[in-house]
Structure 1
Amino acid sequence: MENIYDNETFFYKYSQMDRSQKGLTGAGEWPTLQKLLPDFKEKTVLDLGCGYGWHCLYAAKYGAKNVTGVDLSKKMLTVAKQKTKEYPVHYLQADIATISFPADSFDIVMSSLAIHYVADFASLIANIKSYLKPEGILLFSVEHPAFTAEGSEDWYYDDNGNILHYPLDHYFTEGLRKTNFLGEKVVKYHRTLTTYLQTLLKNDFTLLDVVEPLPPKDRWHEDGMKEELRRPMMLLIKAQKN
């Protein structure tokens, strides 16, 4: 049940990130994601890869009658439980790729930057389809296929350390990528935009939104933020089960 987020060094580095310390407002994609959120009032909600529980807390604050957060990291869940102990939220330590629930359990399934850690996207979506209610909403974010394709997830630099460009290579070769995140080796899985969208369509989902979020203008002054305008880093997808 252990993963990289339960590594002491990695977890400390992650805890220092803006999205860890400031919550949703510290995430560059949040202004865009917030506009895509469904109405949570009286809904049953599942957050796959819930991490610190920020999205669980948001759903509960906006009226969800029951929220379930799933994450593989014990350390993440310990933090999440402290945030939401006054709300109808409970957590399960489990693999989001294989966890199962009774049919038609949830009105809304969310996932933030977790699905690119899942090897078999088709099985995951089929599983989600089984426990999402008819006309239920699936909303998730992943690292953009253009960002994950080459594998290094880093820029090319000149001899003086200035950014030249971002590499795009092996785009159509899907599968495992070993990259560096916060100075640690991390395994992720690359898949094309076609795979993301066609898998949903083949599982009888209707696409509602597909967005490549830009960093908010009020954060462009931050170190490295303007570079985010040079290539897509994230992909947001919202779909409805038919």
Structure 2
Amino acid sequence: MEYKGSDVYDHEKFFTDYLKRRHREESPNNIIERPVIVELMGDVAGEYILDLGCGDAGFGRELFQQGCSSYEGVEGSTNMVEKAREMLNETNGKVHHSSMETWDFPEARYDKVVSRLALHYLAELGPVFEQVNKCLKADGKFIFSVQHPILTSSIESASHSSQRQNWIVDEYFHVGKRVETWIEKEVVKYHRTVEDYFKLLKSEGFSIDEIRECSPQKENFKSEQEYIRRMGIPLFLVFSCSKSAD
């Protein structure tokens, strides 16, 4: 069975296993991707922030600790929404139970929109980018990460041990659907080239301020061996964009 979008997180065993992996101390999300996202978000004091594919909203809790005034998440998984609402207890944060494709984005509400490792699950990005542009204030920022296109191009390496030392890169310019076995489930992702992301953003009214590949920083690793291994190939691609002036 193939799982699309956030559906796989409502499979109970997958959900439990995912949370264990996601919150382990040396998760690449925590020590490679997160520092770059935090840096690009900058000062969030007093800001209104939207998080697309917010998961358990752990990042939302961090943003409140950094002084944001408002945090809203959009999440399609019932299990994740329940966890996210628990995470945001005693804050004014909100979680909307909806897919990104069907959510009713408000107009000119947010200072920043963030999305962490969720957009590569969507078949069509253009309409979502259009809605993100609409919901940002005039000087708003859109910051997001996706799985690096080198990884999504070919799924053959993903079938090997998580401790692999090399990767197979193939079919890079054949964009579209990929089915990857992840935590024993068949998960659908969509491969796009770096150029595809860039052109989509430009066509939907964004200026691209930075593109980052999340080079591992040695000080974030306890294991020298793990640091050396992670220096072998980029896992993440991050864009920082500004809403273009009309």
Q: Same fold (TM over 0.5)?
A: yes
Output the amino acid matched with 2:230.
E
Question: How far did residue 73 of structure 1 move?
Answer: 0.9
SS of the counterpart of 1:16?
Answer: helix
| Inter-partner Cα distance in structure 2 for 1:179 and 1:141 | 19
Match of 1:68 among 69, 72, 83: 72
Asked if 1 retains the 8 angstrom alpha-carbon contact of 2:31 and 2:221, the reply is no
| Inter-partner Cα distance in structure 1 for 2:34 and 2:100 | 22
Q: Identity rate of aligned residues, in percent?
A: 27
Say how many residue pairs are matched.
Answer: 239
Question: How far did residue 237 of structure 1 move?
Answer: 0.7
Asked if 1 retains the 8 angstrom alpha-carbon contact of 2:21 and 2:27, the reply is no
Match of 2:236 among 234, 237, 241: 234
Q: Deviations over 1:79-111 (max 9, x none)?
A: 111221111201111001231222112111000
Matched residue, 1:176:
177
Output the amino acid matched with 1:111.
S
| Inter-partner Cα distance in structure 2 for 1:223 and 1:97 | 41
Asked if 2 retains the 8 angstrom alpha-carbon contact of 1:146 and 1:232, the reply is yes
Map residues 5-20 of structure 1 onto 2, 5 A cutoff: 5-19=9-23
Bigger Cα displacement from structure 2, 189-198 vs 124-133: 124-133
Asked if 1 retains the 8 angstrom alpha-carbon contact of 2:54 and 2:74, the reply is yes
Relative distance call for 1:153 and 1:126 in structure 2 (3 A) is farther
Question: How far did residue 154 of structure 1 move?
Answer: 2.2
| Inter-partner Cα distance in structure 1 for 2:75 and 2:86 | 15
Normalization by structure 1: what TM-score?
0.89
| Inter-partner Cα distance in structure 2 for 1:47 and 1:17 | 21
| Inter-partner Cα distance in structure 1 for 2:115 and 2:163 | 34
Q: Deviations over 1:149-206 (max 9, x none)?
A: 012352778xxx9946311111111111000112221100100100111111122211
**2:54 equivalent to 1:50:** yes
Higher relative contact order (CA 8 A, sep 6+): 2
Q: Deviations over 1:2-29 (max 9, x none)?
A: 7100101110111111436799984432
Relative distance call for 1:129 and 1:169 in structure 2 (3 A) is same
Relative distance call for 1:163 and 1:83 in structure 2 (3 A) is closer
Question: How far did residue 58 of structure 1 move?
Answer: 1.7
Output the amino acid matched with 2:13.
T
Matched residue, 1:187:
188
SS of the counterpart of 1:170?
Answer: coil
| Inter-partner Cα distance in structure 1 for 2:159 and 2:18 | 21
Q: Deviations over 1:105-147 (max 9, x none)?
A: 2111000000001110111111111111211010000001111
| Inter-partner Cα distance in structure 2 for 1:75 and 1:41 | 30
Unaligned runs of 5+ in 2: none
| Inter-partner Cα distance in structure 2 for 1:214 and 1:150 | 21
| Inter-partner Cα distance in structure 2 for 1:118 and 1:139 | 17
Asked if 2 retains the 8 angstrom alpha-carbon contact of 1:155 and 1:164, the reply is no
Question: How far did residue 61 of structure 1 move?
Answer: 1.8
| Inter-partner Cα distance in structure 2 for 1:2 and 1:187 | 10
| Inter-partner Cα distance in structure 2 for 1:136 and 1:150 | 34
Map residues 200-239 of structure 1 onto 2, 5 A cutoff: 200-217=201-218, 218-219=220-221, 221=223, 224-239=226-241
Relative distance call for 1:129 and 1:162 in structure 2 (3 A) is closer
